[in-house]
Amino acid sequence: MKTVDNYNFSGKRALIRVDFNVPLNEKFEITDDNRLKAAMPTIKKILADGGSVVLMSHLGRPKQGPEDKFSLRHVVPYLTEKLKIDVQFAGDCIGEEAAEKSAALKPGDVLVLENLRFYKEETKGDVDFARKLSVHGDVWVNDAFGTAHRAHASTAVIARFFEDKVCGYVIEAELVNAEKVLKSGERPLTAIMGGAKISDKILIIENLMDKVDNLIIGGGMAFTFFRAQGGNIGKSLCQEENLDLALKLMEKAKAKGVNLLMPADTLAADSFDNNAQTEVADTMNIRDDYQGLDIGPKSIESFREVIVKSKTILWNGPMGVFEFENFAGGTNAIAAAVVEATKEGAFSLIGGGDSAAAVNILGYGDQVSYISTGGGALLEYMEGKVLPGVAALEE
């Protein structure tokens, strides 16, 4: 696989698939620029080599063609400011006007194409659409890890139209850091799995069983395990269809000598509301009209003890309903424990999505080893699946 560092972009037009799917407020201002910041080193290396750059991405989930709220023109001022050049914009990603603009680029120029998903052909992996996109570059660079698990036109199919295919710094870093957990992680290795549904994490939990020393399970999905063991979980989230699976996972952990930790107590509430009445309850004995919305103090302490002694940590998914301030305590405490372990020399990989958001909101972003930019893509890679966007670079 060619990487940005072992390719000379001098005199080349680099067509880069970036992940600029960033949140915008009602004034179309960027509220979280992490994905934009992540793409900067790849762009700057190409420009420093004497190449020009064409950027393509999706933004949001447009349903019926072009909509201004999903236009990538909203990221152009940010790029102009950060790159200190006048970044150009094409009002379409294919067609004559876009092709003319990309053909006229000189070394040092940057052009942003309009949202790829204004065309349904993008997500369908349409070959002709990929061919039309390919006219914008001499070399294709994939640096969008967040969509690497999708076989879309711009993320995988387009590779067949290029001799030179290059892996950007974002994807390279994601793969290197994932491998640190999967293949070369120092012991003890601890995986922390949270989130709402056990069904979303089955495959990763099964794959990690062969690799981890400790597996911590929190969040809503823990209640399926308690219900499976005959516990009274009140109105807590539960996937009844996965009760047998939960018991099998527990048996598998025991057979493989994995230390499986689940919450001993929960912060239970009488409604799904930040201002609900609360009480700390035993996770196996929650009142019928209450539901567990966060891990309790005993759980926080037992999880923390294991985390701070770990040398390699993977965290994916919150411990509770952390978007409610009163039920964010467990997630915040786990984040603090991961930071503490990292300061003591542990390697910590934070899976994208809610875990990444929690770490960044708390201001811990620069105090962990690596924060993934792709939640779904990282999960699939950790499950052992081939990512189409990565495979396309290896062909």
Q: Which residue has the tokens 């393509």?
A: 56
Task: Report the chain's terminal Cα–Cα distance, integer Å.
Answer: 8
Instruction: For residue 181, give the nearest of 88, 294, 316, 75 by alpha carbon.
Output: 316
Catalytic residue among 51, 353, 374, 389: 353
Cross-strand bridge partners of residue 349: 314, 370
Is 201 part of the annotated catalytic residue set? no
Catalytic residue among 60, 91, 231, 376: 376
The torsion angles phi and psi of 85, rounded to 5 degrees, stand at -140, 165
Please name the residues in contact with 174: beta carbons below 8 A apart, sequence gap of 6 or more.
145, 148, 372, 373, 374, 377, 378, 381
**Angle at the Cα of 245 (from 257 to 254), degrees rounded to 5?**
10
Tokens of 375: 């939640």
Spatial distance between the Cα atoms of 359 and 271, rounded to a whole number of angstroms: 26
Spatial distance between the Cα atoms of 359 and 362, rounded to a whole number of angstroms: 5
Neighbours of 363 (CB within 10 A): 10
Eight-state DSSP code of residue 27: T
Catalytic residue among 2, 73, 82, 197: 197
Catalytic residue among 12, 17, 35, 45: 35
Is 35 part of the annotated catalytic residue set? yes
Is 91 part of the annotated catalytic residue set? no
Catalytic residue positions, numbered: 35, 197, 353, 376
